[in-house]
Amino acid sequence: MTGAELKALQAPVKEKYRQSPEAALVMLHAVGHVNADDVTCRVERRDGPAVVGLHPATGGSGAELCSADMLLEALVACAGVTLKAVATAMELPLRSGTVRAEGELDFRGTLGVDKTAPVGFRAIRLAFELETEAPQDKLDTLLKLTERYCVVFQTLNAKPELSASIRRA
């Protein structure tokens, strides 16, 4: 896809949102079902269910997916798509690219072993390796715009308003 093709594809959507800002507010959903027999949750996905369980560092077998890994995967996916869209719009040629995320967790927090240990990632590092002849100043702009427009990156960076509730079924 060329930059012009991407811009043509997105132009009517952008115009719709300029004319009707409320149309840009979209509610996304995720649903999971807690298993009664073991410590897993079946997450419904477009391509079929994903069974998520405990990470081996918290006593899990490693046979199921780990939600912390899925968070990093979501970051990699979003950052990769965003980077490619921005590069395309900039008409910056990429032969190939690899996106990596690594997150540092202290599992003492989530296991309640140490009340002072944080629960959750205390550091996440995102890295891109690109095959391109683009000059460094263009790559710097590409990174800056990728960070700015990546939904998952910005969600982690800005900490959205969170709430939780519970009720009987």
Domains of the chain: which residue ranges?
31-65, 66-158
Mean of pLDDT over the chain: 96
Per-residue model confidence as pLDDT tens digits over 127-138: 999 999 999 999
Give the confidence band of 108 by pLDDT, cuts at 50, 70, 90. Answer: very high
Give the confidence band of 98 by pLDDT, cuts at 50, 70, 90. Answer: very high
Q: Is pTM, for the whole model, over 0.85?
A: yes
Q: How far apart are CA 121 and CA 110, in angstroms?
A: 10
Q: Which of 124, 125, 121, 100 minimizes the C-alpha distance to 109?
A: 121
Query: What's the distance, CA 30 to chain centroid?
Result: 14
Q: How far apart are CA 11 and CA 44, in angstroms?
A: 32
Residue 61: CA count within 13 A, CB half-sphere? 7
Give the confidence band of 54 by pLDDT, cuts at 50, 70, 90. Answer: very high
State the CATH class of domain 66-158: alpha beta
- Mean of pLDDT values over 62-83: 97
Per-residue model confidence as pLDDT tens digits over 131-167: 999 999 999 999 999 999 999 999 999 989 999 999 9
Find the DSSP H helices in 41-135. Answer: 67-89, 107-110
Structure-token pair, residue 56: 């081996």
| Residues in the chain, total | 169
Per-residue model confidence as pLDDT tens digits over 36-48: 999 999 999 999 9
Per-residue model confidence as pLDDT tens digits over 13-39: 999 999 999 999 999 999 999 999 999
Reduce the DSSP state of residue 121 to 3 states and report it: strand
Reduce the DSSP state of residue 104 to 3 states and report it: strand
Query: What's the distance, CA 155 to chain centroid?
Result: 9
On whether the CB atoms of residues 42 and 32 are closer than 8 A, the answer is yes
Contacts of 92 (CB under 8 A, 6+ apart): 132, 134, 138, 142
